[in-house]
Amino acid sequence: MRVSRNKMAPVKSFYLTTPIYYVNDAPHIGHAYTTVAGDVLTRWHRQRGESVWFLTGTDEHGQKVMRTAEQNNVAPQAWVDRLVSDAWKPNWSALNIANDDFIRTTEPRHTERVQKFLQSLKDSGHIYAGKYEGPYCVGCEEFKLPGDLIDADGQKLCPIHSKPIELVNENNWFFKLSAFVEPLLAHYKNNPDACQPESARNEVVSFLEGGVSDLSISRSTFDWGIPVPWDTDQVVYVWFDALLNYATAVGLTDAPDSEGGKKFAQTWPADVHLVGKDILRFHAVIWPAMLMAAGLDVPKKVFAHGWLLVGGEKMSKSKLTGIAPKDITDHFGIDAFRYYFLRAIPFGTDGSFSWEDMSARYTSELANDFGNLASRSAAMVEKYCAGSLPAVSHDAGLEAALKETVAKADAAMCALDFQGGIMAIMDFCKQVNGYVTIKEPWILAKDPANQAVLEEVLYNTAESLRALAVLLHPVMPQTCEILWQSLGAQAALGDLSAQKISDVATWGQLPQGATVTKTPVLFPRLETPAS
């Protein structure tokens, strides 16, 4: 977080975006994986007390959308409207995604700002007329280099979609991308965190060092797109249009004293762009070059995560390997879905999804370690203390462990090491379980002479659960809210979402006399195997 030198200016928001998702079909768990990661990170930053802006949205132009709409005998706008309203927004709502804005590239606010931006680049000499001839993948909506393609039975195929490319021969408008090779190389040399993980940055630097051609930024053979403002017989190349969403959504090109201009000043540059590694070059080469050409700040970080694999291949609807989020959440629950993908797969590497692994982690980590701790703690306070939390007690071991946990988890989460952050929190959960096992409150309860010790154990366990509820809230908001209510924390401490990460390790926040109640099982037994 940084504050402007102008003391009257608002605090710079932590601004995070998901990729602008191509809306040609319903989202699969690969899309959900990225969006959940963005949601967890922004929830964490909110609980750090920061101003946050979280954007997601849909990319709705291009040849692929137009052809799919034609195949379904509907107009492109009707097709994308249906997908957004029936699939994309409902999926994010179902996964408890707390985005601040949802932008669609067919919205007037986007169209108008794209045209203004494009005209400004033309006026400043960064765009010129030319002719493009070469391979194009409609699935990627990407102009390909010959070296990018694979050979199969005499055909040139896209390596991502395994489908034949098309040869394009058009008079187009070009962006002088090649002029920004050296500025981009200098940027990544001086700001190694600007492209992460390291493997992604190395790929981008290698690509730039190999030489970059100017980019065709218009298409003349179809009309589903934003018209080029000075040449309305052409539409803006879908990626040049789509990338701008990250800035048009927060007021790009608006007058500085307008609401949009003020929002842009408060928000830009983006702190984190989350992207899949297959669209890294668009976001780490083309996008910052566009911003440099306009004299705007480039994003602070582009983070390319790995793929979710099924059968060793990237998840894809076109290859029939896409799995709908609902297929998993109907069986495991929403919070288990959110937990599993960030816990099981190091963010930034490829990872394979399996029902067996998710079932095992659900049972051992969520049901047994976390859920069982919460349920038996509440049950014992109710049974041995009539549901009233005993006096504040301190256990030096748990207090020290909690301080260490908060420091580790905060550092990991802010570095997008979701697995490391969650593991640190769950290690503390295991320590609390070990504390309960050693102290044996159910044995202590058999002798009235042990009542004072028993109450100390029960308080320390409940206070540990208070901390776990706050730390796990960004990951599992619904479950942690139930736990928060069970501990009687709402009445004593206020809303769970208002609790600060920096305050978590302050021991003794749950007051004596707080009403502790049993709740439904947080993670019910999986009765039937997934299919």
Active-site pick, 116, 156, 317, 326: 317
Report the DSSP pairing between strands 215-216 and 166-175.
antiparallel
Average pLDDT, the chain: 92
- Residue 414 designated active-site: no
What is the CATH number for 121?
A: 3.40.50.620
Chain segment 78-96, per-residue pLDDT in tens: 999 999 999 999 999 999 9
**Residue of 31, 144, 187, 331 marked active site:** 31
In a domain, 229, yes or no: no
Q: Percent of the chain beyond pLDDT 90?
A: 82
| Tokens read off for 294 | 């306009």
336 and 390 in a single domain? The answer is: no
Residue 138 maps to a domain = no
Q: Which residue in 45, 61, 137, 331 is the catalytic one?
A: 137
Catalytic residue chosen out of the listed positions 45, 126, 158, 473: 158
Q: Is 169 in contact with 201 (CB distance < 8 Å)?
A: no
The boundaries of the domain holding residue 298 are: 14-126+180-209+237-344
**Residue 80: CB atoms within 10 Å:** 25
pLDDT reported for residue 322:
64
Look up residue 282 and give its two tokens.
């668009």
Say whether 408 is catalytic. no
Mean pLDDT along residues 330-353: 94
Name which of 266, 259, 213 is nearest 8 in CA terms: 266
Q: How much is the pLDDT for 491?
A: 93
Average pLDDT on 460-489 reads 98
User: Are both 303 and 387 inside the same structural domain?
Assistant: no
pLDDT band at residue 25 using 50, 70 and 90 as cut-offs: confident
Residue 53 lies in a domain: yes
User: Which one is catalytic: 187, 314, 408, 473?
Assistant: 314
Q: Which of 45, 61, 110, 140 is catalytic?
A: 140
Report in angstroms the alpha-carbon separations of 213 from 186, 253, 297.
Answer: 18, 27, 23
**Active site annotation includes 158:** yes
Is residue 448 scored above 50 in pLDDT? yes
Does residue 316 surpass a pLDDT of 60? no
Whether residue 314 is predicted with pLDDT greater than 70 in this model: the reply is no
Active site annotation includes 137: yes
Active-site entry in 89, 116, 161, 163:
161
Q: What is the pLDDT of residue 1?
A: 32
Q: Is the pLDDT of residue 161 over 90?
A: no
CATH number at residue 442: 1.10.730.10
Same domain, 334 and 483: no
pLDDT at 320 over 60: no
Examine residue 219 and state whether it is found in any structural domain, yes or no: no
- CA separation for the pair 434, 189 (Å, rounded): 47
User: What is the Cα–Cα distance from 213 to 126, expressed in whole angstroms?
Assistant: 14
Which of 123-137, 183-197, 517-531 is predicted most confidently?
Answer: 183-197
How many structural domains comprise the chain? 2
Q: CA-CA-CA-CA torsion for 214, 218, 221, 225, nearest 10 degrees?
A: 150
Same-domain check for residues 248 and 365? no
Whether residue 126 lies in the annotated active site: no
193 and 268 assigned to the same domain: yes
161 catalytic? Reply is yes
Answer yes or no: are the C-beta atoms of 224 and 210 closer than 8 Å: no
